Amino acid sequence: KVALCNHDICTVSNEKTVTFLAQNSTPPTTPTNPTNPTNPTIPTIPTEPPPAHFSSDHFAVGYLPSW
């Protein structure tokens, strides 16, 4: 697991693989394969900006769980 903390706000990953992303970067997109049931659909990345405490200068990295 990976825990990312900004003062008293922490985000903890699950047991999946974690990919680190630079601040305010765009997560990589993974094409889905509808003929391969073992390849799950990647959730749509929300278009609204992240919460302020995740986009502040003090929160330098984010993580993207991958399957």
**41 assigned to some structural domain:** no
Predicted pLDDT at 34: 56
Once rounded to an integer, what is the mean pLDDT over residues 13-34?
Answer: 60
* Residue among 9, 10, 21 nearest 63 (CA): 21
**22 assigned to some structural domain:** yes
User: Per residue in 3-14, pLDDT tens?
Assistant: 777 767 777 766
**8 assigned to some structural domain:** yes
Predicted pLDDT at 59: 46
Total number of domains constituting the chain: 1
Once rounded to an integer, what is the mean pLDDT over residues 10-31?
Answer: 63
Cα–Cα dist 53/51, whole Å? 6
Domain that holds residue 54: 1-26+48-67
User: Per residue in 38-66, pLDDT tens?
Assistant: 655 656 666 666 665 555 554 445 555 55
